[in-house]
Amino acid sequence: MFRLSIALIFLTTFILHSQQKEPPALDPSFHKERRQMVLEQLPPNSISVIFSAPIRNRANDVDHPYHQNPNFYYLTGFLEAHAALVLLGTPMDVEGSPVQEILFVRDQDPYYALWEGDIKGPKATQKEYAIDKVLSTTKFKSFLSSLQGINNINHFPFFDDVRDHPRNENDLFSLLTAFKGFISAQSELSKPEDNSLTIDQEYLPDVVGSLREIKTAKEIEILKQAVAMSAIGQVEVMKAIHPNMSERELQGIHEFIFKKYGAKHVGYPSIVGAGAHGCVLHYTANTADQVGNQLVLMDVGAEFQNYTADVTRTIPANGKFTKEQAEIYNLVLAAQNAGIEASVVGASFSDPHRVARSIIQQGLIDLGIIESEKEVRTYFPHGTSHYIGLDVHDPGTYGPLRANSVITVEPGIYIPPNSPCDPKWWGIAIRIEDDILITNQGPVNLSAAAPREIEKIEAITAQSSPLDQFVLPSLDSVVD
């Protein structure tokens, strides 16, 4: 009992120190500006439709926690399911007023509110989200039927996991069915020889993706918060890790810290891979009961106010790198440093990868792991960078780097057991990943609070953790 009390004191101290005031989320004016930017690029007599994300089933009558379609959120700020945003290239009269933007949302439903939570409904949504017109989803089909003179239809690729039966006329299935029927009807009315109708599912993603690439000051502020809590999670795990811990425990520490700082979700399934598990690039099973005296690759990111970080560190569970581990680690670190230095305005998006790959391929040759440059993909099989934002792999142009975009720089070397090299390298998997803000003054490492150098990592792993004294009762003591 005494040990548990001490543990609670340590944990309480940790919790109190981790509390902070949450900065405000994006306000309706942000989303209004984004919609206006899209409207300015739409052709006359066009309709563009963006749907909310489907509710995804986990098993039987249990659904996954709802996560809004990032493109829909970007343009509306609306977080409820079963909704559709319509943007019109030419204003049209809707219920007595000319509009170019209409949001269709569910009506309030007391029965649904009892089981799942309240629905705002059209009136409250109209007041809160500053959208020209908000209507009930029950009016979506008739609205589409009333449209005349439409010669351009834009939409994102349809979701392929929407439930194939409608619950009622308010749901996403009904909205999609109505829209597909509208497209079919317009196609039948158009004259192929006149090329009078264009149906495009690439134009809208390109327009919105280009906007999402460049972050506003407020978006950067939110991203910095997500990255900071992810970096702190890495540091706290460095303090807490020991060989007898499981991959699940390490995952739990990361995600506990995210939630203490206000993150409602992780940005993607957490990757915690010890030893050869780290050689699996998207290893999310995290099933090892003991990480042992191995390197542990931890690719994790908090999602804060819908924006996600993406930070990876690789650390020795016993606190000390072996000679071979250190040689590979420093090679990856040198490649990453070069990649970050190459992340400047105007550079090709591929430049960070190009310079990182060059260093890794020469380093692997020098270590005798490969014989020629063309073999580098055997141990470095992925790209070095991607955008982050509302998605961990955010859309963008992937053209020359532009100021106020945020990218990752994440080289890695992975040497699975039985690789065609000296066995002393087998099982070493190292990735180092940071989130880099591109500015006119040069790259800014937003995740620098999580150390990358070997000596700093080893120094932190030697520190005590507030979790060191946390002792739970054994299951045997409570299970009959």
Max CA-CA distance within the chain?
Answer: 85
Strands 412-415 and 428-431, bridge-based pairing: antiparallel
CA dist 386 and 398 (Å) reads 8
Give the tens place of pLDDT for each residue, 345-378. 999 999 999 999 999 999 999 999 999 999 999 9
Q: Considering the chain, what is the average pLDDT of its residues?
A: 92
Is residue 12 scored above 60 in pLDDT?
A: no
Region 398-408 average pLDDT: 98
Give the per-residue pLDDT at 418: 97
pLDDT digits (tens, 9 = 90+) for 231-243: 999 999 999 999 9
Give the least confident one: 126-130, 462-466, 471-475.
Answer: 471-475
The domain of 238 spans: 215-475
Instruction: Write down how long the chain is.
Output: 480
CATH of the domain at 361: 3.90.230.10
Region 238-254: what's the mean pLDDT? 97
Q: What is the predicted pLDDT for the residue at 308?
A: 98
Of 196, 211, 226, the one marking the end of a domain is 211
Q: What are the pLDDT digits (tens) for 31-59?
A: 999 999 999 999 999 999 999 999 998 99
Residues 78-105 pLDDT 10s: 999 999 999 999 999 999 899 999 999 9
- Please give the full DSSP string across 196-235, using - where no structure is assigned: --EEESSHHHHHHHHHHHSPPHHHHHHHHHHHHHHHHHHH
Distance between CA atoms of residues 437 and 433, nearest Å: 13
At residue 3 the predicted structure's pLDDT band, cuts being 50, 70 and 90, is very low
Asked whether residue 176 falls in the same domain as residue 222, the answer is no
Are residues 219 and 206 part of one domain?
no
**The tokens of 11 are what?**
């944990």
pLDDT of residue 471: 82
Query: What is residue 193's predicted lDDT score, i.e. its pLDDT?
Result: 61
Of 191, 211, 231, the domain-final residue:
211
Q: Please state the rounded mean pLDDT for residues 429-439.
A: 98
Q: What is the mean pLDDT of residues 418-432?
A: 98
Q: Identify each DSSP E strand in 147-294 by its residue range.
A: 152-155, 198-200, 265-266, 271-274
Contact (CB, 8 A) for 265 and 65: yes
277 and 358 share one domain: yes
Q: What would the two tokens of residue 93 be?
A: 């009269």
Q: Are residues 281 and 146 in the same domain?
A: no
**Measured between alpha carbons, how far is residue 183 from residues 150, 238, 357 in Å?**
10, 55, 46
- Please name every residue paired with 435 in a beta bridge, in sequence order, or none if there are none: 408
CATH of the domain at 53: 3.40.350.10
Does some domain include residue 268? yes
Instruction: Write the pLDDT tens digit of every residue in 185-232.
Output: 998 887 666 667 999 999 999 999 999 999 999 999 999 999 999 999
Of the candidates 121, 94, 126, which has an alpha carbon nearest to the alpha carbon of residue 110? 121
Domain presence at residue 337 = yes
Residues 206 and 92 grouped into a single domain? yes
Cα Rg of the chain (Å, integer): 26
CA dist., res. 375 & res. 363, Å (int): 12
Q: Are 224 and 207 part of one and the same domain?
A: no
Question: Would you state the pLDDT for residue 10?
Answer: 41
Q: Is the dihedral of CA 357, 361, 362, 366 positive or negative?
A: positive
Confidence grade of residue 11 (pLDDT, cut at 50, 70, 90): very low
Q: Does position 26 have pLDDT exceeding 50, yes or no?
A: yes
Q: Are 460 and 235 in contact (CB under 8 A)?
A: yes
Question: Does residue 219 share a domain with residue 207?
Answer: no
pLDDT of residue 406: 98
Residue 2 within a domain: no
Write down the pLDDT at residue 194: 61
Cα–Cα distance between 171 and 116 in angstroms, integer?
A: 15
Q: How many C-alpha atoms does 278 have within 13 Å on its Cβ side?
A: 30
Distance between alpha carbon 138 and the CA centroid of its chain, in Å?
Answer: 32
- Asked whether residue 78 is assigned to any structural domain, the reply reads yes
Between helices 28-39 and 121-129, what is the axis angle to 10°? Answer: 90
Residue in this structure with the two tokens 């017109």, named with its chain if needed:
133
Q: Are residues 201 and 289 in the same domain?
A: no
User: Is residue 230 located within the same domain as residue 185?
Assistant: no
> Is 13 within a domain?
no
Q: How far apart are CA 46 and CA 330, in angstroms?
A: 54
Conformation bin of residue 216: beta by default, left when phi > 0, alpha when psi is -120 to 50: beta
Residue 20, domain member (yes or no): no
Instruction: Match 């550079």 to its residue by tokens.
Output: 347
**Count of domains forming the chain:** 2
133 versus 166: which is more confidently predicted? 133
What local confidence, expressed as pLDDT, does residue 195 receive? 66
- 459 in any annotated domain: yes
pTM: 0.92
Pair (334, 200) in one structural domain: no
Residue 309 forms part of a structural domain: yes
Q: Same structural domain for residues 48 and 171?
A: yes
Of 211, 236, 269, which residue constitutes the final position of a domain?
211
Beta pairing class for 133-136 and 265-266: unpaired
**Section 305-319 average pLDDT:** 98
- Cα(377)–Cα(74) distance, integer angstroms: 36
Provide, rounded to the nearest whole percent, the portion of the chain with pLDDT above 90: 82
pLDDT band of residue 7 (cuts 50, 70, 90) is: very low
At 407 the three-state DSSP class reads strand
The reply to whether 150 and 252 lie within a common domain is no
Judged against a pLDDT cut of 60, whether residue 8 lies above it is answered with: no
pLDDT tens readout for residues 256-288: 999 999 999 999 999 999 999 999 999 999 999
